[in-house]
A and B are shown apart, each in its own frame.
Chain A
């Protein structure tokens, strides 16, 4: 088999969890909430998903369980920041720390257990396109799902009424409240969606990307997803671009390590994270201050009565 389609396919596999988690956080931030707990929700999704898949011997069930675990954790965050108006940064960081610990506990009996690959979906005819056909149209189900989700989120935010309301709540919660929009309820739903996506991204990591569970395996991908949202600056298509760019770098550095480039492997492994910093730097230097973030991002909302 040719190398190129294979490499492309691994890029998509590496990028998919980033894309899904970032997509969830994108919705959360459009609603004006900053959830720094993506890493925590992801790792809990990875551990729970893997455990559930092993116990039930169903990867699909595992993916579902992982997503729900992420959502459960986000519900904790939601209750705290929405209804107790706690500081979102501190609560998000706490969520990540809690998630890392919780995941270790959930996954402790499953370390090192192998798990078979989930069946790929091959799309007839399209898969016969040279190079790209093999890379794109023989992917796993969640890869396709991620693309559908991107389209749904883009359409939902920009073209539907609920999307308009969600963006309004994120843009200016005081105005939204004075117009009678249910600010806190809308934000809570957005947070739950973010958790669902982060959990699914985590389960993808342990069930499809690596196909084993080890503690700390999310390895900062939640943070990269957060950086992607900043990078996207409100545009879903830039989220896709960013995710595949990072997927590409991740895979490239793996090949570079294997290909005996005379650089310490630690340095190569650090590449995606260095890129994150570089991307954020470029973004903040390039004109538009505020970077398209929602107007009320990170500010707790407490209606006076």
Chain B
């Protein structure tokens, strides 16, 4: 088969960090090629070089056999390379049509653009309302705009960076249909993912990256998901130890018919949210990103949003109007989604960062900060939670995502909270650290704490939780025991209110 793109010996450093080490990759027309790897394996770095956003330190890129330098996205686009970004590159206040027109050259963006876009959308089965501003659209609709925008230039290679991470199962399925059509017409597709089942469904070749190197090339249709996972992660990751048959205690966190107005115009309004987490119980909130999870996290932690009706109770104490410190004093601990800037001060040392969440409840010194104690606490967390640090007390920003997350979780767990609320525990965290964090949460629940996990990763929710609730358009479904629920059922809850209005306290 002929080849469209050939990368050879691509190497990229960020400072001392080797992001890509001498990578070879061949992309052929009509082929859906998977680029597999954990977070931080170097997938995004590699495709950014292919799309002209980064320039390689060494190695060469050939397109149709010709060596090229892709100095900018314009050049990559001119050579027939299109890209759909994981965090969309859309303009929220602009309409779909304006978004599509922006990168197109003048003659294409003329009066007949609307007709051309409509024809293209129809051909690939992409339903889009062209005149609505993007911020009113769902993640699936936004992605269709991104894809359509890339397709307007008839790319010969379409790169998709984790395209299904924000989609419901049925949206993913319609994306796959579009990609099948594209491939059948001879477009080569580079599909980045760490979801192995969809790679096996869609792709005919898979290149596996680990720590910036190509470790294997495999045919995903003939390789089991387990084998692919082993290739991605290296040595096997231990399975989680669950604690069988422990009972649940009294409710620790109770949200009762909570209505919350968002802080920003693009935020999601929460209405009638009922949620109970009991001692010893792990509840997971699943759902497609942007359905109100962040707003719920803020309402529970007391950091944002305006509660217009309903109440929040932590360990029997009404905290609806209280701030995060009062909630911490009631026994709660919070791990927000943003590790740098919210959970930690990026330019602060790990020991200084203890103060952020400890000052309300723990003795960290009177007028002056007790640095010895902070250092001892920090060292204890580093040891107990297997945090790999470049020095004894580095800055938060110097840690990798996984290690920083382990440190943050450790900082909260060390306070012995009766309730821990954690938003996206393993987002951007490598598999080993993710497993470690999940184990920590399971152990904490076994000791009698209530655990609330907000996650976009359905596998994580199913693996971790006793009960699962689904968030959709600012409302919560009734809680379902994890053992009884199916993926299809959750998929339905993510899009429709299949479970009816939010149920009350569960049995």
Contacts and interface: CB of A to CB of B under 8 A. Distances in A.
Contacts of B54: 304-305
A168 B94 contact: yes
B117 to A, nearest CB: 15
B91 A175 contact: yes
Contact of A180 (B77, B88, B94, B101): B77
B92 A178 contact: no
Binding site of B, secondary structure by majority: helix, strand, loop or mixed? loop
Contact of B89 (A167, A175, A289, A295): A175
Given A168-B94, A176-B102, A295-B91, 8 more contacts: A171-B91, A178-B83, A178-B85, A178-B89, A179-B102, A180-B103, A289-B265, A304-B54
B370 interface: no
Contact of B101 (A164, A178, A290, A295): A164
Interface in A38-76: none
Contacts of A167: 91, 94
B72 interface: yes
Interface string B334-376: 0000000000000000000000000000000000000000000
B106 A161 contact: yes
B264 A168 contact: no
Contacts of B85: 178
B72 A180 contact: yes
B93 interface: yes
Interface string B39-74: 000000000000111110000000000000000111
Contact of B55 (A165, A174, A305): A305
Q: Which of A179, A303, A304 has the most CB of B within 10 A?
A: A179
Nearest to B83: A178
Nearest to A175: B89
A290 B77 CA distance: 34
A288 B135 CA distance: 14
A219 B369 CA distance: 47
Interface of A: 161, 164-165, 167-168, 171-172, 174-181, 288-290, 295, 303-305
B109 interface: yes
Contacts of B192: none
B168 to A, nearest CB: 24
Contacts of B109: 161
A180 B53 CA distance: 9
A295 B134 CA distance: 14
A172 B266 CA distance: 15
Given A161-B109, A304-B54, A305-B55, A179 B92 contact: no
Interface of B: 51-55, 72-74, 76-77, 83, 85, 88-94, 98, 101-103, 106, 109, 263-265
A288 B371 CA distance: 44
B297 to A, nearest CB: 19
A102 B90 CA distance: 43
9 contacts: A161-B109, A167-B94, A171-B93, A175-B91, A177-B73, A178-B89, A289-B263, A289-B264, A295-B93
Contacts of A290: 264-265
Nearest to A304: B54
Nearest to B264: A289
Which of A164, A167, A180 has its CB near the most chain B CB atoms (within 10 A)?
A: A180
A177 B55 CA distance: 15
B416 to A, nearest CB: 38
A178 B102 contact: no
A165 B103 CA distance: 8
A172 B92 contact: yes
B89 A179 contact: yes
Contacts of A288: 265
Given A171-B94, A180-B77, A304-B54, A164 B102 contact: yes
Contacts of B89: 172, 174-175, 178-179
A130 B503 CA distance: 70
B397 to A, nearest CB: 16
Nearest to A162: B106
Given A168-B91, A171-B93, A305-B54, A181 B102 contact: yes
A305 B54 CA distance: 4
In the complex, the 3 A-B pairs of residues with the closest C-beta atoms, listed nearest first:
A175-B89, A180-B74, A180-B73
A178 B94 contact: no
Contacts of B73: 177-180
A303 B72 CA distance: 10
B146 to A, nearest CB: 10
A178 B53 contact: yes
A179 B106 CA distance: 15
A305 B14 CA distance: 10
Contacts of A168: 91, 94, 102
Given A177-B73, A180-B73, A289-B264, A165 B92 contact: no
Nearest to B91: A171
Contact of B103 (A172, A181, A289): A181
B4 to A, nearest CB: 20
Contacts of B53: 177-178, 303-304
A14 to B, nearest CB: 33
Contacts of B77: 180
**Residue picked from B83, B106, B263, B265, most chain A C-beta under 10 Å:** B265
A290 B262 CA distance: 13
Instruction: Tell me which of A174, A178, A290 has the highest count of chain B C-beta atoms within 10 A of its own C-beta.
Output: A178
Contacts of B98: 164
Nearest to A174: B89
B85 to A, nearest CB: 6
A88 B470 CA distance: 43
Contacts of A295: 91-93
Contacts of A164: 98, 101-102
Nearest to A287: B265
A166 B54 CA distance: 23
A174 B77 CA distance: 17
A177 B85 CA distance: 12
Contacts of B106: 161
A304 B13 CA distance: 12
Contacts of A179: 73, 89, 102-103
A214 B19 CA distance: 60
A168 B74 CA distance: 16
Contact of B91 (A172, A177, A180): A172
Contacts of B94: 167-168, 171
Contacts of A289: 263-265
Contacts of B88: 175
A295 B264 CA distance: 13
Nearest to A171: B91
Contacts of B263: 289
A288 B263 CA distance: 10
Contacts of A305: 54-55
A181 B77 CA distance: 12
A168 B93 CA distance: 9
B59 to A, nearest CB: 15
Nearest to A234: B93
A182 to B, nearest CB: 9
Nearest to B266: A290
Contacts of A181: 102-103
Contacts of A172: 89-92
A177 B74 CA distance: 9
* Residue among A174, A175, A289 facing the most chain B CB atoms (10 A cut-off): A175
